[in-house]
Amino acid sequence: MQILRSVMAALLLGGTLLAQQPFGLKSGDRVVFYGDSITDQRLYTTFTESYVVTRFPTLNVTFTHSGWGGDRVGGGGGGPIDTRLDRDVFPYKPTVMTIMLGMNDGGYKALDQTLFDKYKDGMKHIVATVKQRQPDCRITLIQPSAYDDVTRAPLFEGGYNAVLIRYSEFLKELAGQEKLGVADLNTPVVEMLKKAKEADAIRAAEIIKDRVHPGAPGHLIMAEGLLKSWNAPSLVTDVNVDSAALTADVKNTKISNLAKGAGISWDELDAALPMPVDPQDALLNFAVDSSDFLAALDQENLKVRGLSGEKYELRIDGAAVLALTSAQLSAGVNLARVATPMLKQALLVHQLTLDRATAHNIRWRQVQVPLKDIPEKDKTAAMNALDNLDRQLLRAQREAAQPRSHHFELVPVQ
């Protein structure tokens, strides 16, 4: 019995410690996303950036998107691997680096041991080089993203995604040996595709149209996988109002001017914003519905108990947002997917994230690299102008993410 109590105590303590694990990024971090065309799409990376900026609006973290289509562990169209690292990673002095390679390395065929050995040696070289040049950099190895063998029949026995899973197993081993982080961006997408296929096979096939490059819906679930590996919290805000006692228990927000009339009203200053999931994007929301995304990353909870009426209209800043019964309000509702002013603000932040990533990409891919043979002085003005635009967009992005107060009302309706 004593042994059982000791085991239970250890499990409870472990659960407490796990719950208290801090987010994987800290103020002052410089993140570089490195990879092939899937990283070059700048979708899972920008969703990740927007999560950090909207969930932690006072956290000073910068992001650089350094994916290049067609890359393998040895490099590719952007040059050999050491050129890529010297030009596209180390100048940004990363304190955090994510590496996602493997989709091209496997050759789109059954497991080839020669290619697999080349991949293993190449990943070890990248890790060793980063550790030597940036010894304080925290590396997250990203297991290769999913090849869609779910909504379409595999092209050979076992399918190509099984090859990528074998590559993923090696990355887990390497991460353990080198004490690196590891993120699974494959399994969550596969599970989402399976559930989506059960609901609507035709729409599910649109998520990764060419079986390799996901659209935004697939990338959102990939971002979830990366953020989970960094212990990202699910909580946006939590508001629990007792309308009879006129009291409120809250998390990650501040409530003031709680007042009762025909309904109830209050002012709310949230410390974070919901994820920028556009409610007008049907396919994006289909992927959310087919996954655990909301539970894992997007909990903007409102609960109001003790209401005397049967049905209420939620108004924020005077605009009608949602009609709810008192039973629904008493049970609690997640506002993350509702078109609130907070979600509109988050979508603005995300657009600025996309704009900033595009400005950097133009500077890098259309000026710095292709014009490498032109004397530096002849292209400095163009590069400086784009760097300045990047900084302006960064300031606008951070300003747009700052907390804003909103007036909430629950008005009884017939």
Contacts of 177 by beta carbon, 8 Å cutoff, 6+ apart: none
* Mean pLDDT along residues 125-152: 98
> Quick one: which H or E segment has residue 162?
helix 160-178
Q: Go through the domains of the chain in sequence order and give each one's CATH number.
A: 25-229 (3.40.50.1110), 234-414 (no CATH)
Note whether 282 and 269 are within 8 A (CB): no
pLDDT, averaged across the chain: 94
pLDDT at position 196 is 98
CB atoms < 10 A from the CB of 210, how many? Answer: 7
pLDDT at position 412 is 96
- In whole angstroms, what is the distance from residue 235 CA to residue 270 CA? 11
> Quick one: which H or E segment has residue 254?
strand 253-260
Note whether 100 and 184 are within 8 A (CB): no
Structure confidence at residue 20 as a pLDDT band (50, 70, 90): low
pLDDT at position 17 is 40
- In whole angstroms, what is the distance from residue 48 CA to residue 51 CA? 5
pLDDT digits (tens, 9 = 90+) for 213-227: 999 999 999 999 999
Say yes or no to pLDDT of 289 above 90.
yes
Say yes or no to pLDDT of 211 above 90.
yes
* Environment class of 154 (CB within 10 Å of its CB; exposed 0-12, middle 13-18, buried 19+): middle
Kindly report which listed range (29-43, 119-133, 314-328, 363-377) carries the lowest average pLDDT score.
Answer: 363-377
Say yes or no to pLDDT of 96 above 80.
yes
AA identity, residue 200: D
The residue behind tokens 């595999």 is: 154
Whether this model's pTM surpasses 0.85: yes
Say yes or no to pLDDT of 76 above 50.
yes
Chain-centroid distance, C-alpha 25: 13
Token code pair at residue 337: 């997917």
* Mean pLDDT along residues 327-351: 97
pLDDT digits (tens, 9 = 90+) for 346-404: 999 999 999 999 999 999 999 999 998 888 888 899 999 999 999 999 999 999 999 99
pLDDT digits (tens, 9 = 90+) for 157-189: 999 999 999 999 999 999 999 999 999 999 999
